[in-house]
Amino acid sequence: MKSVLDSNRPIYLQIKETIEEDILNGRLAPEEQIPSNSQLVNHYNINPVTVLKGINLLVDEGIIYKKRGLGMFVSPDAPEILRKRFSQAFFKEQIEPLTALAKPLGFSLEEIHEMINFAWKGEKND
């Protein structure tokens, strides 16, 4: 769980995104219980309705589900649902603009691949 929330963005979305990040990074596993609403309210010192709004978005997307009397749990399919959604967003927000810029500049696919390899390894491509 993040220790501080950004005051410039809707808090309920940050609650949602924090749980999603915890799932993607393996800090919350499928079938594992997520922090309770009251734990989130106390941790972030926020309104319970705000927490509920973020949690409900996750329920609506099939990321978490409720076990009556026990709390909220990570859906078995949550990691795959999130990977698919983030993969689609990554393609649209990163790959499409990259190729739209690279083509007119005359970069070949091999050159782009080499640049990505350098960046992946943390090396500079001079």
Radius of gyration of the chain (CA): 19
pLDDT value at position 1? 72
66 in Cβ contact with 72 (< 8 Å)? yes
Helical H segments across the chain, by residue range? 11-24, 37-44, 48-60, 78-90, 96-105, 109-121
HSE, CB side, 13 Å, CA atoms: give it for residue 86.
12
* pLDDT values of the chain reduced to their tens digit, one per residue, 126 residues: 777 788 899 999 999 999 999 999 999 999 999 999 999 999 999 999 999 999 999 999 999 999 999 999 999 999 999 999 999 999 999 999 999 999 999 999 999 999 999 999 987 766
The Cα 43–Cα 61 span in angstroms is: 24
Give residue-wise pLDDT tens across range 51-70. Answer: 999 999 999 999 999 999 99
pLDDT value at position 125? 65
